[in-house]
A and B are shown apart, each in its own frame.
Chain A
């Protein structure tokens, strides 16, 4: 669904405007009666946490129940693929059964992972993976924690299950001697918190195969009979967030098992390069593990190989001319593999003609790791930056040829010293410069001393009057250095987007997505792109969105799990309105002369009570970031913010900037219910202090050259 739309939640639209408007008086009533509470982070956002089952068979209809945060009432379940459609389940009286949907999966719906989201009064939720497969689907409603009563499994079926806390689920299947069974437990890759341990044992409880890293088991039955599968979480955690799909499929002896697809890490956004064609890779030619066995190659070229056996070093040789520049890229970790490729290029210096010595080797380039273009923060108590790593342990680097001659390239896996796994493959690309860029965006968070990372799991679900900032990061390839303009289209009605440019040579920009105060509820699947010019030609690249697989309330105990999303849906909710809007008094471009003071006329529209009387704002936008933070009085309706361009040394040109800060709003979860009480409420309303990010609508500024005296 790509067209902007409105929906049935519109009936709440008349109420939402009053939610925050009534809040001041409610808060005043309650201020002395509500005890102080711990401060939460991020206003409520709709989050779909689980569907059950977590997938379905192509060409079937399946009943699904959903669970999440702030998703009531859930009016629609939407999917990233139009081949999957859902309608709310209704009881005999025609009433919708809460959180229950009937999902139809088209026969031709692609198998693999898709994403489900639920439409709520706060907008469209965060996504949850929904898998479409070709095997028969079953669900396990009761746990099977005792080996004496295992849950029966049929071969060529998938069982959807949830792991109880401190438990092992047991399954039984029957196989005949020599039958080859492929056992997969999909969990992390379908947004589950479960780190599955799968143990295959005989009926006497003797373990035959154990897999603890999430990989499949490839099992050939040694005898006719029953076998047990034991599944548990690595640290025996469990609960509703610990769901999994256990699939058993029969394979022929010669079949090469293909594991199901799953979500991908943020680092995968940069693979493959635009010029890469998977089928064009030549296979490495073994043996090529020694200098004496080096495989001769001719750049530009594209090779496919494996880091196998343990401590494998693949050696290639090629001739090159002085002054040539080659770009070398290796894709392996970005294929989802636990590898750390490293490339060493050495010049092979031949001995003197009469000499009996061996050639000598001179290091020319050592390439490892694609660094993140922005600092990746750790999971510390203080939130000091995004924990999204766009970098990779793969290789992307430049090779400049210093002399004519023979060059030796050694490719190894720094993680492969003791590992014997032929699945650890790679693609090696040696090419001439092909400048390009890749973009990844995620919802911006605020600097905060608080381990709460819930707000990192944030859909682009806007409250009317709110501006949501997305942090956009560019990975530049093969020396590309140009500025990148950001833009967004296919937005729902009442929503606008303004990109703060990624300057030349830099890696970070911001996209501001704003819902008008009168924006109607609705959603659309938007498109976020970056535009630039490469070799004199305009280039547009789609930006992928990343988010956390699940909200994390305590980063000290649980590590956030970022991943790429399938699409970029933008929605406007109907239930609430932004507690605070900071916006330019006028949409006109502000003109100022170079080196002079710039005055930004700012309006503040409050719809809530706040803890504290000031908001501290920093300036976002290239050239303005170094400006000291600005304090605005929250009780004022307007202010003039003055920026000294002389200190900032802003060059003439056009700029878009915004003001960004955070406030602690006094939020009432009962606001929606209370909104029916248009007249003065009579009893105190409990409120909750919630800190959230506040970003202004952008200011457009034109800095004109200074007039000569």
Chain B
């Protein structure tokens, strides 16, 4: 048996070239993928559609004009101060330091002392402390009221003294002059009753923006004395889609040629406002006459608004493969493919989805997703019991279609032992109450609270009080040691739930992201109250976070990206669709299978990945299906399925699929899983799974010994097809294509593959091989070639 790649020789390489060359679909996918990758990396391939969107005023190719609100005169000029001639430290000086970047986390707001002994609060959230640091600390050496230009602050900021942060303020700028004048005035703190910043407004808040257009947006600060101030030059700007919409430090924005929706987050002194832009493609799109459900209704409506035509609905083979991979994490079997492709039942797609949702494969696949996010890690060999029990609990819950809110409730408020009540295992993995609320918030609410532990959240409304009030829900989690090392019994410890804000010292009762959950008596487990709040119909986060997460699973890109960073300043690309799905999910009783059913039965999900000139650049509005590389576990299973081989995993029955692995420990023993990015279950972020391509992945598929072994697996598909007298070459090729792609080969693919299968072969000594052996080796080559096609590696 010659297993190594070198022995396969030119015949094999030729076979690959020829087979791949005759896979038009594969080539098209390759092109699509390449262009997609190029776009996402900002390398071009932007196809400018010189079509003016209906209703747009002006010429998008010339000087930009805006359809939105006309620019208003600034209420107060950018150089003016809010309370007259004397600069106020909080209102006038801190914003300058913030704009200059002095108080970012990597500069003087760095945790643990700032830089070179000069400490500022992050983004100026603590102006009183900043004043003391700047004016009083270091014996006042940072400011020289008698000679303001010689102040250390200005010498450093302008680069006249060596400064690690470089030049932050130009000497001839207005900001320099304001700092100078403030120092010269004796560096006053300012009046205690000075107007307070109440809100921030961006002008315009939203508008339709032509492709390639530019405009200036304005930031207006509103104060407690009803005054306004134009703070455009002092505000900070950040785009959520830089490839679509770029922004400058001064609030100047530039739209690219990519149609869709994008937002600019505008921040000023702890307040945030959002500018939303819709950039239409400009095509005339007829409304969808017969939407399948809410998904189609709102997705196609959005495409209509943006003038992006949708792709056609994919064929049956593509649907079967896509749905089977997305729902069950595996390829369709040959029998399934044959049956489905020969069916003329008009309801066959819907029935197939139901069958997949009823299968244990669905539970295995989604348990794999959830257990990684829930940190089912094996750090010690004694973890195996709790990890297996926890994984099984998740799987069983999904299989039985336990309502999502109930699953989360059982996890959040788990008590008892791991064996008796497996969700307790989560408390073994995540022991610190702060980590618990951070994980819960990010995973189940789509809210990232980490920043608010130490300071006001820079992008959000969450304060430290919000953080510690949320942590208070977990303050009465009692633990008792068990016989298992590192494993505790979990119980509710009677007492009034409260947590201390480490900064203010104040003891805080439980509150759910600013929502009062009422008085919780000492005998009641506060975690149950948190679960009640989560599953309430009017919870603004819980259902939305799940719906968005599952949407991303099936469409590759979330309606909000990243899927676990839901905030006012990161708006969804299709808010109506997200809201409709959220309402459906709540109305269904948090039915996960029903949610998947709604998504996958939609015409939107079943769109082809083939693009046209008008929707090719769309990466946000789901005008066509976005192909994705199979996940590490799914790809390994797919290779096993195609080759008829199996992968052995320690402590698991022979034949266990990779998507059914209970924890991360198998990554260490499987180079394949590691190379293809299986997550290590150390984060609640889906981003831990690496889906990007790498050279190592290509080399692994081409030449790794485990792949070669699978091709030559005793009793595998190549051996079986070569040993069966009743299997013609045509039938063998058809089976391979059905197994790999869920479709029959095209006539040209069939001709080439059959021709190759019939070719004679010689052994390493040049002697002719027997017919069966030659057939077996040719089959192995052919399977190897199919594995290395993009059509195989991608879900399209």
Residues of A within 8 A of B (CB): 145, 166-168, 195, 197, 205-207, 210, 212-213, 232, 234-237, 311, 313, 338, 340, 342, 344, 366, 378-380, 387, 393, 410, 412, 414-419, 556-557, 559-560
Task: Looking at the assembled complex, report how far the CB atom of B107 sits from the nearest CB atom of chain A, in whole angstroms.
Answer: 46
A207 contacts across to B, CB distance below 8 A: 360, 363, 399
Q: If A366-B494, A387-B483, A415-B415 touch, does A213 touch B359 (CB 8 Å cutoff)?
A: no
Contact between chains at B382 and A166 (CB < 8 Å): no
* Option from A212, A237, A313, A344 in Cβ contact (under 8 Å) with B392: A212
Contact between chains at B381 and A557 (CB < 8 Å): yes
Pairs across A and B, CB under 8 Å, 13 listed: A166-B653, A210-B396, A212-B392, A234-B392, A236-B652, A236-B653, A415-B416, A416-B415, A418-B414, A419-B416, A557-B381, A557-B382, A559-B484
B409 contacts across to A, CB distance below 8 A: 418
Q: If A210-B399, A235-B384, A235-B385 touch, does A338 touch B417 (CB 8 Å cutoff)?
A: yes
B81 within 8 A of A: no
B116 within 8 A of A: no
B118 within 8 A of A: no
Contact between chains at A344 and B413 (CB < 8 Å): no
Cα distance A195–B358 when bound, in Å?
27
Task: Looking at the assembled complex, report how far the CB atom of B656 sits from the nearest CB atom of chain A, in whole angstroms.
Answer: 9
Cα distance A342–B525 when bound, in Å?
13
B491 within 8 A of A: yes
Contact between chains at B360 and A235 (CB < 8 Å): no
Q: If A167-B653, A340-B416, A378-B485 touch, does A415 touch B388 (CB 8 Å cutoff)?
A: no
Contact between chains at B523 and A344 (CB < 8 Å): yes
**What are the 4 tightest A-B residue pairs by CB atom distance, in nearest-first order?**
A414-B491, A415-B416, A338-B420, A415-B415
Contact between chains at B527 and A417 (CB < 8 Å): yes
Q: If A234-B385, A234-B388, A415-B421 touch, does A166 touch B414 (CB 8 Å cutoff)?
A: no
Contact between chains at A235 and B483 (CB < 8 Å): no
Cα distance A90–B70 when bound, in Å?
106
Q: If A206-B359, A418-B414 touch, does A212 touch B389 (CB 8 Å cutoff)?
A: yes
B478 contacts across to A, CB distance below 8 A: 414
Q: If A212-B389, A234-B389, A556-B382 touch, does A342 touch B494 (CB 8 Å cutoff)?
A: yes
Task: Beyond the given A205-B360, A415-B421, A417-B527, please list 19 additional residue pairs across the A-B interface where CB-CB is below 8 A.
Answer: A145-B653, A207-B399, A212-B392, A212-B422, A234-B385, A234-B389, A234-B392, A234-B419, A236-B651, A311-B528, A338-B420, A338-B421, A344-B523, A412-B523, A415-B415, A415-B420, A415-B489, A415-B491, A417-B413
B176 contacts across to A, CB distance below 8 A: none
Task: Looking at the assembled complex, report how far the CB atom of B295 sits from the nearest CB atom of chain A, in whole angstroms.
Answer: 27
B713 contacts across to A, CB distance below 8 A: none
- For window 456-494 of B, CB contacts with A under 8 Å fall at 478, 481, 483-485, 489, 491-492, 494
Contact between chains at A338 and B416 (CB < 8 Å): yes
Cα distance A235–B652 when bound, in Å?
7
Cα distance A379–B393 when bound, in Å?
26
B695 within 8 A of A: no
* Option from B360, B393, B422, B525 in Cβ contact (under 8 Å) with A417: B525
Measured CB to CB, the nearest residue on chain A to B493 is A414
Task: Looking at the assembled complex, report how far the CB atom of B745 sits from the nearest CB atom of chain A, in whole angstroms.
Answer: 30
What's the tally of chain B residues with a CB closer than 8 Å to chain A?
Answer: 44
Task: Looking at the assembled complex, report how far the CB atom of B537 sits from the nearest CB atom of chain A, in whole angstroms.
Answer: 20
- For window 618-664 of B, CB contacts with A under 8 Å fall at 651-654
Contact between chains at B485 and A379 (CB < 8 Å): yes
Cα distance A620–B653 when bound, in Å?
51
B178 contacts across to A, CB distance below 8 A: none
A416 contacts across to B, CB distance below 8 A: 415
Task: Looking at the assembled complex, report how far the CB atom of B396 sits from the nearest CB atom of chain A, in whole angstroms.
Answer: 5
B104 within 8 A of A: no
Measured CB to CB, the nearest residue on chain A to B380 is A556
Contact between chains at B483 and A414 (CB < 8 Å): no
B410 within 8 A of A: yes
B491 contacts across to A, CB distance below 8 A: 340, 414-415
Cα distance A61–B402 when bound, in Å?
47
Cα distance A160–B425 when bound, in Å?
32
Cα distance A609–B528 when bound, in Å?
64
Task: Looking at the assembled complex, report how far the CB atom of A275 sits from the nearest CB atom of chain B, in whole angstroms.
Answer: 29
Cα distance A344–B651 when bound, in Å?
45
* Option from A206, A212, A213 in Cβ contact (under 8 Å) with B360: A206
Of B416, B494, B651, B654, most buried by chain A (CB within 10 Å of CB) is: B416
A237 contacts across to B, CB distance below 8 A: 651
Cα distance A309–B489 when bound, in Å?
21
Contact between chains at B416 and A313 (CB < 8 Å): no
Cα distance A232–B662 when bound, in Å?
15
Q: If A213-B420, A234-B388 touch, does A378 touch B481 (CB 8 Å cutoff)?
A: yes
Task: Looking at the assembled complex, report how far the CB atom of A414 sits from the nearest CB atom of chain B, in whole angstroms.
Answer: 4
B415 contacts across to A, CB distance below 8 A: 340, 414-419
Measured CB to CB, the nearest residue on chain A to B490 is A415
Cα distance A417–B491 when bound, in Å?
9
B381 contacts across to A, CB distance below 8 A: 557
Task: Looking at the assembled complex, report how far the CB atom of B240 sits from the nearest CB atom of chain A, in whole angstroms.
Answer: 38
A206 contacts across to B, CB distance below 8 A: 358-360
Task: Looking at the assembled complex, report how far the CB atom of B379 sits from the nearest CB atom of chain A, in whole angstroms.
Answer: 14
Measured CB to CB, the nearest residue on chain B to A214 is B419
Task: Looking at the assembled complex, report how far the CB atom of A143 sits from the nearest CB atom of chain B, in whole angstroms.
Answer: 11
A342 contacts across to B, CB distance below 8 A: 494
Measured CB to CB, the nearest residue on chain A to B652 is A236
Cα distance A313–B492 when bound, in Å?
13
Task: Looking at the assembled complex, report how far the CB atom of B530 sits from the nearest CB atom of chain A, in whole angstroms.
Answer: 12
Contact between chains at B413 and A418 (CB < 8 Å): yes
A340 contacts across to B, CB distance below 8 A: 415-416, 489, 491
A166 contacts across to B, CB distance below 8 A: 651-654
A556 contacts across to B, CB distance below 8 A: 382, 485
Contact between chains at B492 and A417 (CB < 8 Å): yes
Q: If A195-B419, A344-B494 touch, does A235 touch B388 (CB 8 Å cutoff)?
A: yes
Cα distance A338–B384 when bound, in Å?
21
Task: Looking at the assembled complex, report how far the CB atom of B554 sits from the nearest CB atom of chain A, in whole angstroms.
Answer: 23
A168 contacts across to B, CB distance below 8 A: 653
Cα distance A311–B520 when bound, in Å?
14
B389 contacts across to A, CB distance below 8 A: 212, 234
Contact between chains at A560 and B483 (CB < 8 Å): yes
Measured CB to CB, the nearest residue on chain A to B491 is A414
Task: Looking at the assembled complex, report how far the CB atom of A442 sits from the nearest CB atom of chain B, in whole angstroms.
Answer: 15
B420 contacts across to A, CB distance below 8 A: 213, 338, 415
A195 contacts across to B, CB distance below 8 A: 385, 419
Map CB proximity to A onto B362-390 as digits: 1 under 8 Å, 0 otherwise: 01000000000000000001101100110
* Option from B363, B384, B419, B523 in Cβ contact (under 8 Å) with A213: B419
Map CB proximity to A onto B396-429 as digits: 1 under 8 Å, 0 otherwise: 1001100000000110011111011110000000
B494 contacts across to A, CB distance below 8 A: 342, 344, 366
Cα distance A417–B529 when bound, in Å?
11
Cα distance A313–B651 when bound, in Å?
42
Cα distance A212–B400 when bound, in Å?
14
Cα distance A393–B420 when bound, in Å?
14
Contact between chains at B410 and A414 (CB < 8 Å): no
B414 contacts across to A, CB distance below 8 A: 417-418
Contact between chains at B523 and A417 (CB < 8 Å): no
Cα distance A206–B478 when bound, in Å?
39
B399 contacts across to A, CB distance below 8 A: 207, 210
Measured CB to CB, the nearest residue on chain A to B384 is A235
Cα distance A401–B494 when bound, in Å?
22
B385 contacts across to A, CB distance below 8 A: 195, 234-235
Cα distance A342–B652 when bound, in Å?
40
Task: Looking at the assembled complex, report how far the CB atom of A377 sits from the nearest CB atom of chain B, in whole angstroms.
Answer: 10
Contact between chains at A559 and B523 (CB < 8 Å): no
- For window 509-556 of B, CB contacts with A under 8 Å fall at 523-525, 527-528
Measured CB to CB, the nearest residue on chain A to B393 is A212
B417 contacts across to A, CB distance below 8 A: 338
B388 contacts across to A, CB distance below 8 A: 234-236
Measured CB to CB, the nearest residue on chain A to B524 is A311
Q: If A311-B525, A342-B494, A378-B481 touch, does A235 touch B382 (CB 8 Å cutoff)?
A: no
